[in-house]
Amino acid sequence: MSDVLTRKPNDAEIPVLRGIWENVFGTIGEDSFFLHYYAPDLCVIAEYNNAPAAVGYLIPFGDILCQSKEYPCAMIYSVATLPEYRGMGLGTAVVCNLIDLARELAYPAVILCPNNDKLFEYYSSRTGLYDWFYVSEQVINEVPADTAIASLTEISVNEYRTRRERLLEETVHIRHDLRALEYQAMLCNELGGGFFKIGDTIAVVECQPSGEVWIKELLTPGSRNAVSDPDLYIANAVASISSSFPARLYVVRFPSQIGTGRRFGMVTFPDNPHFDPCLKGSAPWFGMAFD
C-alpha cells in the first residue's frame, strides 16, 4: 500500500488547495477564506502517491467560557478529501495532525463542527474528539402574519459581539473572537444576509442558494425558560426577519436546553483528553460554524 504523507503546504500550492475546496464545497466562502484566514502554518495536507489528496485548516476561534474560566480554542475547519481518495483514512490523518498542531501552539481546546451526523461517530472513534455542543433547530414554512416582535435592524460586527456576550453571559459557550465574526459577516454578505437586531433579540441571517433562509443564530433575552411561549417567540422573530428576507422556508438555530437538541459540535482538550470542565449541568453553545 502506498504511504500517506502529511505536511504543510508551500506558497505555490494555493491553487491546489483552492481546487480541492471547489471540488468538495463549491466556491462559496472560498475567496473570503483565503483572503481572511488562510495561513500555510495552520494547514495540513495529506498526500497519496505523492499527490495532495486531503486538506484541513486550523482557525484561532475564540474562548470557551465555562465556570468563570476561559479556554482559548482553535477550530478545525474545511477538512476535505477528494472523492477518489475517500475511505483511506486521509481525513483522519489531517484531523489528528491539526490537533497535534493545536497542542504545539498551546491551545487547551480544539473544536470541530462535523457536516453530517455520521461523522460524529467516525471522529470520536479515531481522533479523541467527542460530542459536546448541542443546538435546537426549528423549520418554519408558514410565518405568522402580523406577528413581528420589532423591526429588523442591521448592526455591526462589534455591536453584535457585545450584544451576543450579554445574552449568553449565563450560558457555557464559545466567545467568538472578532476575526471569526468578521469572517462570518463576509459569508453572510456573500449569500445576501447579515447581522441583525430585533429589539433585544439578535440574529445571523444567510440566504441559501436553495431558496431557504438560515437563521444561524437566534438569541433571545434571558433564557428560553424566561419566555412564556418560546416557540411562538421564535416564530414571531422569524416574522420580523421575513419582511426583509422572504423565503419558502426558514431554518432557525438557537441554544438548546439540557438534554435536548441535536449534536452540533465536538471538542477535545489535547493535553488532558479526559478533562471535561463543564459538561454536567450545561448545554454548551457553539454558535456560528461557517457551515
- What tens digit of pLDDT does each residue of 90-108 get? 999 999 999 999 999 999 9
Longest dimension (CA), the chain: 64
Encode 167-180: b = buried (16+ Cβ within 10 Å), e = exposed: bbeeebbbbbbeeb
Instruction: Answer yes or no: CATH 2.60.40.10 is held by domain 135-254.
Output: no
Q: What distances in angstroms separate CA 214 from CA 36, 38, 53, 203, one per listed residue?
A: 23, 26, 31, 10
Q: Can you say whether residue 25 is alpha, beta or left, with left for phi > 0 and alpha for psi between -120 and 50 degrees?
A: alpha
CATH superfamily of 4-132+261-268: Gcn5-related N-acetyltransferase (GNAT) (3.40.630.30)
90-104 vs 118-126: helix crossing angle, rounded to 10: 60
Q: How confident is the model at residue 76 (pLDDT cuts 50, 70, 90)?
A: very high
Q: Is the pLDDT of residue 75 over 50?
A: yes
Give the three-class secondary structure for 146: coil
What is the per-residue pLDDT across 113-136, written as a single tens digit (0 to 9) for each? 998 889 999 999 999 999 999 999
pLDDT digit string (tens) for 235-247? 888 999 998 999 9
Which residues fall within 8 angstroms of residue 180, CB to CB, at 6 or more apart? 59, 61, 62, 75, 288
Query: Cα-atom radius of gyration of the chain, to the nearest Å?
Result: 19
| Beta-sheet strands, E only, within the chain | 4-7, 43-48, 51-66, 69-81, 109-112, 130-140, 152-154, 173-176, 194-198, 201-207, 213-219, 250-254, 262-268
Average pLDDT for residues 12-32, to the nearest whole number? Answer: 96
Q: What is the mean pLDDT of the chain?
A: 90
**Coil, strand or helix: which one is 142?**
coil
CB–CB of 185/290 below 8 Å?
no
**109-112 vs 69-81, strand pairing mode:** parallel
Phi, psi of 284 (to 5 degrees): -55, 140
Predicted TM-score (pTM) of this structure: 0.92
Distance CA 225, CA 190 (A): 35
- Report residue 133 as a C-alpha cell: 455542543
Give the integer Cα–Cα distance in Å for 240 and 24. 35
Residue 82 is predicted with a pLDDT of 97
pLDDT of residue 273: 76
- 1 compared with 18, residue with greater pLDDT: 18
**1: pLDDT confidence band, cut at 50, 70 and 90?**
very low
CB-side neighbour CA atoms (13 Å) of 167 = 23
| CATH 3.40.630.30 boundaries in the chain | 4-132+261-268, 135-254
Q: Are 136 and 255 in contact (CB under 8 A)?
A: yes
Residues 6+ apart with CB under 8 A from 247: 207, 211, 212, 213
